[in-house]
Amino acid sequence: MKVLFSNTSFERLKEIIEPLFRGHEVRYVNILEDPRPLRWAEVLIKGTEPFTAEMLSLAQNLKMVCQWGVGVEGIDIGACSANGVFVCNVPSINTGNAEGVAEVAILHMLLLAKGYNKSQENLQRGKMFSPRGLTLWRKRISIVGLGNVGMVLARRLSAFEVNLVGVNRSRKMEFDSLPLTQFFSLDDLSAAVKGCRFVVVTLALTPETKGLIGEEVLESMDENAFLVNVARADIVQKRALERALKERKIAGCGFDVFWEEPPDPSDSLLKLPNFYVTPHIGGTNDETLKGIPAFIASNVDRLSKGELPISCVNINSIRKAT
């Protein structure tokens, strides 16, 4: 098939992309600067650029738009559906995204549990067998948000023989297979975090979850509890968190995200000894680099064989129309 990558930065990944798309014709064009190749394309693979109804009108041969990643908010899905064009994304699970983010959550949990910063100080001072850390083993841990990341995390943590509490907006059938000892609705978050040594945030950011973790939830957490956030910083109220840490309402934090990215290195939160931050590295790893294009390539192959694509967000609209 004729496969158009929507910007030239994909060309840097050529060595990974081209073996996967063998048997197809591949072009890399910045479609915001030069939309003409859209006429040629049967498949468009796009990054963060928008894909509007106007651009679609230029793409008479287009059969499928594939998002490089999960978020399809830049695509005019209605227009695509009306024209019988499949819109597909890449699920975070099994492509290295959910797996990588869950691993970074566990890194933060272990940094906090073992007192890594303190251990490095002790090493400098010649002090061994110290600090006396915690095990994750046997601790009560709540996972707030049971999407792909939360579910992948639950499966990994359960091997540490912990006591897992799941929190989600609604209870879904698929949670039955998770190793949870208890389930709470998001409305009962303050009750869910009580008695937990770790609270790990894996929620999507929505108007409903923005600022969800503020004074009330932080007050409900145990004084020896740690908060880990690998989702979006804005789910947590920054000033309330800073206060809770300074007043020792909670014992520490680990964030792979920040309110302003990149964070200002002089931000007072970064100076707190029990605040670990990593620069949003959960989804950036060797496996996503292979997993995302491989998933898209398999969808292109399906389409070329006349099969329906998978992870298609508008499949029902198109089916109804045909």
* Minimum CB–partner distance for residue 318 and a copy of itself (Å): 33
DSSP string of 212-226, one letter each residue: -BSHHHHHHS-TT-E
* Other beta carbons less than 10 A from residue 312's beta carbon: 18
Residue whose CB is less far from a copy of itself, 138 or 171: 138
Q: Which is nearer to a copy of itself, 143 or 157 (CB)?
A: 157
The amino acid at residue 114 is: K
The minimum distance between CB 134 and a copy of itself, in angstroms, equals 5
CB of 49 to a copy of itself, least distance (A): 18
Taking the complex as a whole, the smallest distance from the CB of residue 149 to a copy of itself amounts, in Å, to 13
User: Whose CA is closest to 282, among 301, 261, 256, 259?
Assistant: 256
Tokens of 44: 């468009």
- Closest separation in Å from C-beta 124 to a copy of itself: 5
Residue 7 CB, shortest distance to a copy of itself, in Å, is 17
The DSSP result for 8-45, as a single string, is GGGGGGHHHHHHHTTTSEEEE--TTT--GGGGT-SEEE
Q: Which residues bind a copy of itself (CB under 8 A)?
A: 96, 99-100, 103-104, 106-107, 110-111, 113-116, 119-120, 122-124, 126-138, 155-161, 261-263, 265, 270, 277-281, 284-287, 289
Nearer to a copy of itself, 62 or 292 (CB): 292
- Please give the order of strands across the beta sheet that includes 198-201: 182-185, 163-168, 140-144, 198-201, 226-229, 252-255, 275-277
Which of 174, 286 has the CB closer to a copy of itself? 286
Q: Which is nearer to a copy of itself, 42 or 256 (CB)?
A: 256
For a copy of itself, the closer CB: 37 or 115: 115
For residue 163, list its beta bridge partners. Answer: 140
Whole-number Cα distances in Å, 132 to 36, 105, 122: 64, 21, 11
